[in-house]
A = this chain, B = another copy of it.
């Protein structure tokens, strides 16, 4: 049992040290025992959750939401040199929240330290696109970060680490990351499209006039960008195909898709900042989907490695597809989903975008020189 501790820790002098938690209290009587797993009747092992961009808005929500019912957690938070003081502030707020399942917090600026033995790596930190910056520019800048983090994961993370990339462009960042981590299963790398799935479910529920828990089988295909494809062909409302419940085909084909694709941008316009709370909620949803058996007949969306996919999507990309899990942290692609020309055309457009992004980061994935031919008009979600 470890208490959170940061007082007197050599945080500023040596930000690489495990500063967030002291081991001094290990074995002190009166400590909290580990949690007894009801199913297996064995003590639950502490799970290491590494989080990058730990002082950003998304993480600030996520860190206070990540606790489940009975899984003790150690948080390992990666910041930058300029954010070390803010990281200490995050730790203070976590301490003052008295989460019974939070057993350790470490902070640092070196991914080789913070990713050590990580069971989960939530890669949230990324630079936002500045004014006048080309999409190709931000793809390259962030790509460098994710190449470095992939190498660090490859070197020090748990051999079965699950990686969820949130920092944009998240699909291509996830591809860069997995290519730089050849000793880890490529299958374990995800890019987050769960917020898009949640947004699509809400819009369908709103249009159908039902509560959102009636919407199931919601796939987001492709890139977490404005080319993403919310799939209303396979989605269901109260167990019936969406098209049987919502007869307005024009709404489905145009309004629905555009609303979901541009939701992030509208939110920025309203709020003056990008979604943080709902992104954090969707990260927790994504994790829960991997550690909870999927409901009979249902699935969830996550962008994963395409090699071996049954849909005919180009291999060697990270592409959002429908998945199911037995709740063991692993997943399988759903085998038989319907496809029609409308859906397939859109999927191909998102695929083309991802292939272009990939050419743009060829130098980061060991495929020669970068070729930046990204169409200038595609945006990251959340950009107007």
The answer to whether A378 has its CB under 8 Å from any CB of chain B is no
0/1 interface trace, chain A 86-100, chain B, CB 8 Å (1 if under): 101110111111101
Question: Could you jot down 16 A-B contacts, CB within 8 Å?
Answer: A3-B210, A7-B206, A30-B238, A61-B64, A64-B277, A64-B281, A65-B65, A89-B267, A89-B270, A89-B271, A96-B195, A96-B198, A97-B278, A97-B282, A98-B202, A98-B281
- Chain A: residues with CB nearer than 8 A to chain B? 1, 3-5, 7, 24-25, 28-32, 60-61, 63-65, 85-86, 88-90, 92-98, 100, 195, 198-199, 201-202, 205-206, 208-214, 237-238, 263, 266-267, 269-272, 275-278, 280-282
> Do A278 and B93 touch (CB < 8 A)?
yes
Contacts of A276 in B (CB 8 A): 60, 93
CB A378 to nearest CB in B, in angstroms, measures: 22
- State the CA gap A282–B28 with chains docked (Å): 27
What would 17 more interface pairs be, CB under 8 Å, given A28-B209, A96-B202?
Answer: A1-B211, A3-B209, A3-B211, A25-B210, A31-B214, A64-B281, A65-B65, A86-B271, A89-B271, A92-B267, A92-B271, A93-B275, A96-B199, A96-B263, A97-B278, A97-B281, A98-B212
- Are B210's CB and A98's CB within 8 A? no
Chain B residues with CB below 8 A from A4, complex form: 202, 206
Cβ of A341 to closest chain B Cβ, rounded Å: 29
CA distance A330 to B213 in the complex (A): 34
Q: How far is the CA of A195 from the CA of B208 in the complex (A)?
A: 42
What is the bound-complex CA distance between A98 and B90, given in angstroms?
A: 27
Q: Is the CB of B272 within 8 A of A32?
A: no
| Residue of chain B at shortest CB distance from A88 | B270
Measured CA separation A210–B64 after assembly (Å): 22
Residues of chain B contacted by A267 (CB below 8 angstroms)? 89, 92-93
Given A61-B61, A85-B271, A272-B86: A209 and B24 within 8 A (CB)?
Answer: yes
Which residues of the other chain, B, contact A281 by a CB distance below 8 angstroms? 64, 96-98
Please indicate the chain B residues that have their CB under 8 angstroms from the CB of A3 in the complex: 205-206, 209-212
Contacts of A29 in B (CB 8 A): 238
CA distance A266 to B88 in the complex (A): 10
Chain B contacts for A269, CB-based, 8 A: 85
Q: Is the CB of A98 within 8 A of B64?
A: no
A280 CB, nearest partner CB in chain B, Å:
8
- State how many angstroms separate the Cβ of A369 from the closest Cβ of chain B: 40
When the two chains form their complex, are residues A213 and B263 in contact, meaning their CB atoms are under 8 A apart? no
What 4 A-B pairs have minimum CB-CB distances, sorted nearest first?
A: A89-B271, A25-B209, A89-B270, A32-B211
Interface centre among A61, A280, A282 (most CB of B within 10 A): A61
Is A277's CB under 8 angstroms from B32's CB? no
A276–B65 Cα distance when bound, in Å, is 14
Complex interface: chain B residues within 8 A of A63 (CB): 277
Which residues of chain B are near A198, meaning CB under 8 Å?
Answer: 96-98
Residues of B within 8 A of A60 (CB): 276-277
Most B CB within 10 A of own CB, among A85, A201, A210, A271: A271
Q: Determine the residue in chain B with the shortest Cβ distance to A103.
A: B211
Instruction: Note all chain B residues with C-beta closer than 8 A to A280.
Output: 64
CB distance from A107 to the nearest CB of B (A): 12
